Amino acid sequence: MRALVTGAGGQLGRDVVDALSGVVPVGGLRGSPATGRLGERTAWDVVAATHDRLDVSQRHDVLAAVEGVRPDVIVHAAAWTAVDACEGDPERAFAVNAVGTRNIAEAARRWEAHVVYVSTDYVFDGLAASPYVEWDRPNPLSVYGRSKLGGEHEVDPGASVVRTSWVCGFHGANMVKTVLRLAGGDGPLRFVDDQRGCPTFTADLAGALAIVTAERLPGVFHLTNDGPTTWFDFARGVLASAGHDPGRVTPIATADLDPPRPAPRPPNSVLDNAAWRTLGLPALPPWEEALERLVAALAVEGGHPG
């Protein structure tokens, strides 16, 4: 079986390529019931489409690439993920995130490939008091969220749509690396305590996506590591995992961010992994445990790989 992975150079894409190839991503868990079942399967023949090799916003390039590869499944992880920059350039956000997904869906339809589209908690406005299930009505606040929801509307009903949140991994830039970098300096560590979500670690998510891919699970899934937190508590967790004093972190309100962020964030984007659980699939590990693994992997590396 052959899989084409878009955005294969991104923090999630790199781990998806590993997971599908039968390699446990850095910081991942071998044999985990939630993510380790792939070990029992034959590894996929994986074609890693990095941004420089395939721009998903270019329809003819996408059609030609999929015709050339003839994948059984396309894991579509490519996106313009710069949430604040999207606010200033909606045309580009929609070209990549919505039209790019339209192009992937068209090519997949032509060659009968299953699509696994990675989407986001930012499709919700975050005003609900409880966690969001897959059937709750999206109402994105930001251009990024609207463009990713646009992508959800482009895939066929039988496709897999996997919404995730607060993504961190060994590769690429993310909040764990930001906190570790700031912890090395004398500057203030201030993080908001009025945004709640579920941190999700690419090594675990990639393993779960490999299950979605192998099973071609249709419909919308929320897939996050287990347990909600705030950015303030998460930053404290990062410091504690790295042996720093978590008391260095001060809580602030989103309204106190200086300068304010261009893109509004949902105050509550906790995703209930209801569809996954209902299928009898085990929860991804608690975020605290996944964080320990990532921080340990970064420490072994002796730095914070980009």
Binding residues (CB under 6 A) for ligand NAP: these are 6-7, 9-13, 51, 54-57, 77-81, 96, 100, 118, 120-121, 148, 164-167, 172
Alpha-helix residue ranges (DSSP H) falling in the chain: 11-20, 59-69, 83-88, 90-93, 100-111, 143-154, 175-183, 202-215, 231-241, 274-278, 287-301
Q: Are 287 and 205 in contact (CB under 8 A)?
A: no
- Min CB(59)–ligand NAP separation in Å: 12
Number of other residues whose CB lies within 10 A of the CB of residue 140: 21
Task: Please provide the distance, in angstroms rounded to a whole number, between the alpha carbons at the two ends of the chain.
Answer: 31
Q: Judged by CB, which is closer to ligand NAP: 163, or 236?
A: 163
Instruction: Rank residues 33 and 273 by Cβ distance to ligand NAP and give the closer one.
Output: 273
**Catalytic entry in 117, 122, 132, 144:** 144
Rounded to a whole number of angstroms, the minimum distance from the CB of residue 222 to ligand NAP is 11
Whether residue 144 lies in the annotated active site: yes
DSSP track, 159-201? SEEEEE-SEE-SSS--HHHHHHHHHTSSS-EEEESS-EE--EE
Q: CB of 230: closest distance to ligand NAP in angstroms?
A: 15
Give the residue at shortest CB distance from ligand NAP: 10
CB nearer to ligand NAP: give 77 or 235: 77
Residue 276 CB, shortest distance to ligand NAP, in Å, is 16
Cα dihedral across residues 25, 31, 32, 37: positive or negative = positive
**Residue 285 carries which DSSP code?**
P
Nearer to ligand NAP, 39 or 297 (CB): 297
Name the residues annotated as catalytic. 144
